[in-house]
Structure 1
Amino acid sequence: MLGEFEDESSSSGGELTPTRKNNSHPQNAQQNPSILSSLRSVLIVLSTALICFAAARNSITWHCQRFWGASGDFWQAQWDKFLDTVGEDPFYLWVYGTFILSFGVYWLFGGIYTFMDMTNKPAAIRRYKIQPGTNEPVDNRKLLKVIWYVLLNQVVVGIPSSMLMYWAMKWRGYPALRELPTFHWVLYELAVHILTEEAAFYYSHRFLHSRYLYKYIHKQHHEWTAPIAVTAIYCNPIEHIFSNLLPPFLGVFIMGSHVATAWLWFTLAILSTLNAHSGYHLPFFPSPEAHDFHHLKFNNCFGVLGVLDRLHGTDTSFRQTRAYVRHIMMLSFIPPREAFPEPNTCKHKLGKR
């Protein structure tokens, strides 16, 4: 240190001012190569990753194209066989085909849930009850009443509604029956159907909760504060038309969908509503917690996806509950109530004392 002060003083007229000028060059020389080396390494890693991503993307795209093509050929062949068997009358396909499909899907999967509700078997499934202790087993008299109204809605209301649907599609125009749409187009249409149903169901459902309509129309559906699967369309016929049938059909009408696409969409919609009303939060199934909470409290969670509920603030109470924490698809076999148990309020109160 003294050497540095002496050298600087001799060159500046004896004034002592510390400096490390002579030592700064080696440090800068060492830092610059280090930064350049790091940048070079980062660029090499990024460029390698991009090349690998591009190669993988091309490979995945190629395999997907082959899969879609092969799968498309398979389903087209099956569709041709189906039409060769049942005929190509669009009226029969849109009306009776839609009725048979929706009726069969509803009671096949709804029947499985109903068996579980009536017998409490398998016992392990009861661990996934959203409201434990309810409908264990279900009251048979109440169940028969539900079945009667559901059959009434499906036959007396459903078939004439399917006829109106066919005439609307005939006026709108629909694609030729023989040629199935591509998978990519089906996926696009399904996205439109889902979004359209979300809007139509949310606003029609919320309207049914108005004081003018709830008592006379929608109250019947809310007799079940702990719903079971087959109560999905247990409702007044007017509600069934405007809240259960019309919202799923709107997207089909807007897009001018192929009848096969409509059938696929109606199947998914039926499975969704059966699950939402089932009272079970099963692993690997979409969470029904929000709609179950709606039946319990009446004034929250009017939609299907929850998007419009968040936008309009009609899920505020739900988001303050433990049910909201459990409102996820469970990717393990741990029951949601065990994975996310209710807080122990007794301990909290004792702590306050």
Structure 2
Amino acid sequence: MVGFVSDELLGTFVPILVYWVYSGIYVLLDRFEDYRLHTRAEEDTKNLVSKRTVVRGVLLQQAIQAVVATALFAVSGNSGNASSAQLSTFTHVKRFIIAMFVMDTWQYLMHRYMHHNKFLYKHIHSYHHRLVVPYAFGALYNHPVEGLLMDTVGGALSFLISGMSPRASILFFSFATIKTVDDHCGLWLPGNLFHIFFQNNTAYHDIHHQLYGNKYNFSQPFFVVWDKVLGTYMPYTLKQRKDGGLEAYRTKD
């Protein structure tokens, strides 16, 4: 317990709070035009959904995630916080990395399938691609079915297969949330550690949101392993726009 709040409750709601706080930081940083990957004009003209609708869609998905997380903690009975405190640092790190790879594997397979299945793309996954110019708080905007199948189930599998405790899941899901928001923020800020340590970053995912990258760069949210292994990797280069900003360009067809 942290005060009077259980680890299970924190594991359910802290990532939601982190999502909106971290997104809010990027909303404030969005004024730095030189670091935007798209102009404001492109954001207004290319995106097919209003920001109000995006907020409603994200809140709906987070409500579904909260219900599923609460049920998952109750069914798994994986409270184990006392024993968790006795585990070695190596064991905690190992479980964290396992959870990252499980989430990446599930999301890659589901994401790619939703692009190649015409029915699923038209009626479900196309919701997310209404944001041709991604921005931070639109990271989790998608069809509720996609949110359940890709994000919520992916998170549940990561939790169960890795064997992490609810206390450890607070850190893991908060980190995954921050990474996902960062990948959609639309800004290439100097010194961003995600851009330094992860190939799968803001520019990498921005390529996927463009028409020419629609069948590439499916990996999310951490690594690019499956794109490289299965031939869907599209590298990019950053170039200066005439208006002073940056833009990610593909480097191969």
Task: Give the match for residue 303 of structure 1.
Answer: 219
Residues 142 and 175 from structure 1, CA distance in 2 versus in 1: closer, same or farther, beyond 3 angstroms? same
SS at structure 2 position matched to 1:325: strand
Counterparts of 1:31-110 in structure 2, within 5 Å, are 83=1, 85-86=3-4, 92-94=6-8, 96-110=9-23
2:63 corresponds to 1:150: no
In structure 1, runs of 5+ residues without a counterpart are: 1-82, 328-334, 344-353
Post-superposition CA distance 1:265-305 (Å, at most 9, x none): 10110011001111112223223111111111321110021
**Alpha-carbon separation, structure 2, partners of 1:249 and 1:178:** 21
**Alpha-carbon separation, structure 2, partners of 1:202 and 1:342:** 20
**Alpha-carbon separation, structure 1, partners of 2:207 and 2:84:** 43
| TM-score between both structures, scaled by the size of structure 1 | 0.59
Task: Give the match for residue 220 of structure 1.
Answer: 127
For these two proteins, the number of residue pairs brought into alignment is: 232
2:88 corresponds to 1:182: yes
How far does residue 342 in structure 1 lie from its aligned partner after superposition?
9.9
| TM-score between both structures, scaled by the size of structure 2 | 0.81
Counterparts of 1:102-141 in structure 2, within 5 Å, are 102-117=15-30, 120=31, 125-133=32-40, 134-135=42-43
- Whether contact under 8 Å (2:11, 2:167) holds in the other structure is no
How far does residue 159 in structure 1 lie from its aligned partner after superposition?
2.0
Q: Which structure has the larger Rg?
A: 1
1:261 corresponds to which of 156, 159, 168? 168
How far does residue 238 in structure 1 lie from its aligned partner after superposition?
0.9
Q: Share of identical aligned residues, percent?
A: 22
Residues 126 and 215 from structure 1, CA distance in 2 versus in 1: closer, same or farther, beyond 3 angstroms? same
**Alpha-carbon separation, structure 1, partners of 2:2 and 2:36:** 45
Letter in 2 for 1:301: N
Letter in 2 for 1:289: A
Q: Compare the two structures and name the one with the higher helix fraction.
A: 1
**Alpha-carbon separation, structure 2, partners of 1:103 and 1:288:** 20
In structure 2, runs of 5+ residues without a counterpart are: 195-200
**Alpha-carbon separation, structure 2, partners of 1:169 and 1:326:** 45
Indicate the structure whose relative CO is greater, using CA pairs within 8 Å and at least 6 residues apart: 2
How far does residue 313 in structure 1 lie from its aligned partner after superposition?
0.9
Residues 112 and 309 from structure 1, CA distance in 2 versus in 1: closer, same or farther, beyond 3 angstroms? same
What's the Cα RMSD here?
2.9
How far does residue 178 in structure 1 lie from its aligned partner after superposition?
6.9
**Alpha-carbon separation, structure 1, partners of 2:101 and 2:145:** 23
Structure 1 runs of 4+ aligned residues shifted over 6 Å read 136-139, 340-343
**Alpha-carbon separation, structure 1, partners of 2:101 and 2:245:** 28
Letter in 1 for 2:237: V
SS at structure 2 position matched to 1:130: coil
2:66 corresponds to 1:159: yes
How far does residue 197 in structure 1 lie from its aligned partner after superposition?
1.2
